[in-house]
Chain A
Amino acid sequence: MVVLIPLAKIAIAISILLFIVTYLVYFERKISAWIQDRIGPNRVGPYGLLQSPADVLKLFFKEDIVPSAATKFVHSLAPVISLTVAMSTYAVIPFGPDIEIFGQKVRLIVADVDVGILFILAFASIGVYGLTLSGWASNNKYSLLGGLRSSAQMISYELSMGISVVGVLILAGSLRIYDIINSQQGWMWNAFIQPIGFITFVVAAFAETNRLPFDLPEAEPELVGGYHTEYSSLKFAMFFLAEYANMIIASCLITTLYLGGWHLPFIDSATLSYGLMPLISVMIFVAKVLFLLFFFIWVRWSIPRFRYDQLMNLGWKVMLPLSLLNLMWVALLVYFFKI
């Protein structure tokens, strides 16, 4: 039992992840189409629902091209790094309160580590290696530029992201994600208490996941495909998967850190039967994450890409001071109100 439960949790987490990614791609295409007054994929299966599996199948059968001038080992290593990092970050993200199965207390998290947030930030930084190495190993000027941009962008935005998170940590008094969520019961969502930190974190999350308006490492019009220009077949699929997995992580993270995890103001106070509560909590959590994922896609199809100098200006001259301001605000709150 001791081994079985974590294994089951890992299996469930990964299959849910893959399922969500598949349909995230589908909805990305659908929503982009709707926003542009089009219909979107609707030919493969009913309502085009089998489009994404078909795409994956297609990628399976494509030839895997490695440029002759590429550094072969690193070239194949890079997508693996991206994907592994993206997948393992899920381990520390909880998606519901404790539940009881067969008299056993089960936490809805793969690994409840004490340094949860730190773990996520650390892994997010490793993820950059995937992009940078792929850009360097491809031996292609566009890829290299994409890789360089991604590393510069990550460094600039990770800073403000980290400082925004510190505000949350001060309020929660713990690095453990459970404690952070439980410190936001009722209306005490961090998004309301520290709105500036919320905004800086969301913007930094967009930059970290390489989504528009910060998708400079890819930037199709200027860099062809950026870091993944020279990738094809399954290696490309891995990058693709990693990007969407990162999006889900970012959404989960925003939900846990700022939107109160599985807490909703009125549900907590309502007297619900004990058995129903975990189910509703998980549903609330998933609903929040899905809304954020929609938000990610929605923003992508609304806002144009930043220019590189604008990106750097925003990162260092706006985001960093703002997140520091937020930190001071939280410190003052704690000092005066002893929240």
Chain B
Amino acid sequence: MSVILKTKNLSKSFGAVTAAANINVEIHEREIVGVIGANGAGKTTFINMVTGYLKPSAGEIDFRNRNILGLSPRHITKIGISRSFQVPQLFSELTALENIVIAHRLMKANRLEVQAPLKTQSAVDAARGSLAEFGIADYAEAQVTALPQGTRKLLDIAMAMAGSPDLLLLDEPTSGVAMEEKFPLMDTVMEAVKRSRAACLFVEHDMEIVARYTDRVLAFYDGHIIADAPTEEALSNKEVREYVIGTELHREKEGKEERTYVESP
């Protein structure tokens, strides 16, 4: 299958910290790729650079053979790359339904209307359909502040998928979600992804989830990619076991999973 995203020698440093160094990645159409790496390895930084939120210090990013370096997140969204966030980015005083309706209407419009209603019957129906697809239709009328964490994560992903992207970047879709809810949540998300025919790259700390849902794994360590291989091969790689999986086990033991700090996306 053809390559849709290609990064060349992508690098980013924050002062003395190297968050990305010579990242060369190719993502193919409809591929499901897992991204693993310890805290601070540069996973979110990679997503931030691809979506135009952060400007790389060096390197190139091509999407469908077009150089997208320097485009703003809204341009990149328009051309077909969407993302979800480690900390869900929602409109918290509005209802779940309103969040989705807004996402649909903003994503699909070339010019936003100023006199026609936002909540037309067809827009509301489409939004309910999308909530149902993610299994959260029961929460349609609930305000975001009243939603459980797992529902917020799903809503965040549903909003990212509102524009039918070709490439979906999910930043830790299961973080902050209770252990027993992680697999059902990923089942829901992956079914939606398969139906949409988008390529999907997702960041994940849980190796069982990575093993279950991905074809291929990128392992980040200290801003570098230390492995890029089919899932099984990557997870049994010696360096990956030492620098990534080892620290993940350590991390789970210390209960770092439930971090709730807020950071930039």
Q: Are A and B bound to each other? A: no
Which residues does A use to contact B, with CB under 8 Å? none
